[in-house]
Amino acid sequence: MDQDATFRVLEEEDAEEAGETRDPGTEREIDHTNRPALVLDRVSMTFKTESTREEVAQNLPWYKKALYTAVRRQPRVRIRALRELSLVVGEGESIGVVGRNGSGKSTLSKIICGKLMPTTGEVWAKGSPMMLGVNAALVSAISGRQNIILGCLALGMSRDEIDARLPEIEESTGLGTAIHLPISTYSSGMSARLRFAIATSRNPEVLVIDEALNVGDAQFRERSQERMQELREQAGAVVLVSHNSKTITNSCSRVLWLHNGVAVADGEAEEVMYQYRRYNYLLAKQRLQPADQHLRAVQATYRPTVIDRVG
């Protein structure tokens, strides 16, 4: 991200629905004390995939039907995984991303980290965003210690820097002598500790954590919370994707709620999580209509972020 760029975040009002124009007082300029570490400007993601649904084939023009028949392929459909979204995360801020399966959380995290190119929109980040996920690759045939060295090299650390920090990183895993054993002997919790230690071995400007804090024992969770606090204090922005309500409220001051690729709410963590838990409770009780009404009521209060690039 260009350090000289200035972003203005506007609370967008729908003039037609609200019956009034935007109040200039709602504009706030991000100053030096809260410079953005991550900016998403009108980002969306649409996938094209094959479908076996008969009605899809029936609605195709005759020439497309003939083409798909000739090449012996199923017709392709568009899946809108993430609708247009703008987002600003400031330095030192931790934002949680919640939503049911298929809501677009993982798609968003992959776009932030550059693993997916968005269909529309742009992403700016201070430094290279780094993703930590429970599915991060480890080499099973070598030891945890050797995996730390390989992981840190992949993160761009020099060998001298790795050697200097290796004892500290090993200690942070809490694995003891198991650090010298092959990964193939590790439990899922032990592997998660190792992945977390590797990913947080340096202080990234933007760290994306996808469900990584939901495994491991109480001691591991406590250590990971402490490390998260260190990252925030050192002005690294954190994006935490999780289903765990307690993890979100303990780690984040702000929450973004996604549903079917659409933003429902973006605000103070306790408030958004209360509304999200209420929605899930209604679904669990099979009260589908009240759940849908609750979702729509919350979404009606959401005001999309508008980004003006100046200079």
* Per-residue confidence band for 77, with pLDDT thresholds at 50, 70 and 90: low
Instruction: Output the six-digit token pair for 265.
Output: 């709410």
Spatial CA neighbour of 199 closest among 169, 237, 158, 177: 169
Q: CA-to-CA distance for 242 and 210, rounded, in angstroms?
A: 6
Q: CA-to-CA distance for 307 and 303, rounded, in angstroms?
A: 13
Which CATH superfamily is 6-129+204-310 part of? P-loop containing nucleotide triphosphate hydrolases (3.40.50.300)
132, burial (CB in 10 Å: exposed 0-12, middle 13-18, buried 19+): buried
Q: CA-to-CA distance for 117 and 43, rounded, in angstroms?
A: 10
User: How many CB atoms lie under 10 A from the CB of residue 271?
Assistant: 12
pLDDT tens profile 235-284 = 578 898 988 888 888 888 899 999 999 999 999 999 999 999 999 999 99
> Is the pLDDT confidence value at 154 over 70?
yes
* Per-residue confidence band for 128, with pLDDT thresholds at 50, 70 and 90: confident
In sequence order, which ranges of the chain are alpha helices (DSSP H)? 15-18, 54-58, 62-71, 105-112, 144-154, 159-173, 188-199, 218-233, 245-251, 269-284, 288-300
Which stretch of 83-87, 132-136, 159-163, 168-172 has the lowest confidence by average pLDDT?
132-136
pLDDT tens profile 100-110 = 998 999 999 99
Could you state, in order of their start, the residue ranges of all structural domains in the chain?
Answer: 6-129+204-310, 130-203
* Per-residue confidence band for 58, with pLDDT thresholds at 50, 70 and 90: low
> Is the pLDDT confidence value at 162 over 80?
yes
Q: What's at 161, amino acid-wise?
A: E
